[in-house]
Structure 1
Amino acid sequence: MLKILDKLPSQTFAIGALRWSMVFIFALFGIAKFAAYEAEGVADIAMHYPLFSWMYPLIGVQGTSNVIGTIELATGALIALGAWSHRAGLIGGLMGMSTFLVTLSFSFGVPLWEEGYGFPFMGSTAQFLFKDAVLLAACLTLALHAGHALRARATV
């Protein structure tokens, strides 16, 4: 059994896998925000959320979605740069955490359980939002990894 455990990849490998999967997610979701179908879908939830509601009258549905997409792309870029810069990785991880805290907060005040069934039968909104708990934990892991590396470098 121990011989198998000796052959496990390092934690650095796991952090790299987590990093690049998050870059992939932020890239795809960020790019999607520039499409009309995604802008309309986001508007259904975000238009009534105080953090975003003020943008809709100023720059419209597509403009607001473009801003959100740009933030997501910047977050993914900083997480990617974290492979070489712990400072960029820390900022990207914190931005990612903020993203998923915001989207998880959308779950307050919307119907989450399947009509006619109730808990634990999630509706489509709950399914859309609850996956973000794992993505939040992934960004937390990346932020902590970068923060610990910066602290270790500062004490040397």
Structure 2
Amino acid sequence: MTSVRNQGRLQIAEKGAGSLYFLALLRWALVVIFLWFGAMKFTAYEAAGIAPFIEHSPIVSWLHALFGTQGASYVIGIIELSTAAALILGAFRPTFSVLGAAMSAATYLITLTFFLSTLGVAEAAAGGFPAISAAPGQFLLKDLVLLAASLCLLFASIRGPWLNVRKS
């Protein structure tokens, strides 16, 4: 009975009360990003590109230790493609709307921690932090917007007081 009651509180983000249809733009933009980046993780080029982030991360460095550079990239690729699938299914099923948005938010929370663990984020030539390098600093900073998009979808997928939208 509890799961049925909780299921009733979930909704497809862009089909919630009021005019939330614009959230579909966020959903499908995230889908494209996760499909593209997820597929790229199966290339040696991308595996080498993400290796410095993974190797120095206290959260995901175990992937590199356990699977090596390409194996860790494969695991991340599978997770990213699964996130894309959940976001796609979330356009039709409330449970997946929540799951996909939560997976997306978790991804960007983790990647934002790379600011603290990746070498070269602070630009020494400009005086160090808060000046950030073009790569990897500015590359990582865009994840702040992607986290916000993910959280918007997540919060809109769960009915609650934060959706203070009047019904017409």
**Following the alignment from structure 1 to structure 2, what is the Cα–Cα distance between the partners of residues 116 and 99?**
30
- Opposite residue 28 of structure 2, the aligned amino acid is W
What percentage of aligned pairs have identical amino acids?
42
How far, CA to CA, are the matches of 1:103 and 1:81 in structure 2?
24
| Greater relative CO (CA pairs within 8 A, separation 6+) | 2
Whether 1:122 aligns to 2:139 is no
Cα drift, residue 52 of structure 1: 2.4
State the AA in 1 paired with 2:132: M
Q: Quote the offset at 1:121 in angstroms.
A: 4.1
Q: Distance in 1 between matches of 2:47 and 2:125?
A: 30
> Among 101, 109, 115, which residue is 1:101 paired with?
109
Contact 2:54 2:63 in 1 (8 A): no
- Range moving further from structure 2, 107-116 or 130-139: 107-116
Counterpart CA distance in 1 for 2:19 and 2:40 is: 32
Q: Which position in structure 2 is the counterpart of 1:111?
A: 120
Q: Which runs of 5+ in 1 are unaligned?
A: 1-9
Corresponding residue of 1:16: 24
How much is the aligned-residue C-alpha RMSD, in angstroms?
A: 2.0
Contact 1:82 1:146 in 2 (8 A): no
The separation in 2 between residues aligned to 1:143 and 1:93, in whole angstroms, is 5
CA–CA distance in structure 2, aligned partners of residues 105 and 57 of structure 1: 19
- CA deviations over 1:110-151 (Å, ceiling 9, x no partner): 3323231135542011111110000000000111111128xx
TM-score, normalised to structure 2, is 0.77
Q: Which amino acid aligns with 1:56?
A: H
Counterpart in the other structure of 2:49? 41
Matched residue count: 141
Partner of 2:143: 132
Which structure has more helix as a fraction of its residues? 1
What is residue 100 of structure 2 aligned with on the other side? 92
Change (3 A) 1:55 1:89: same
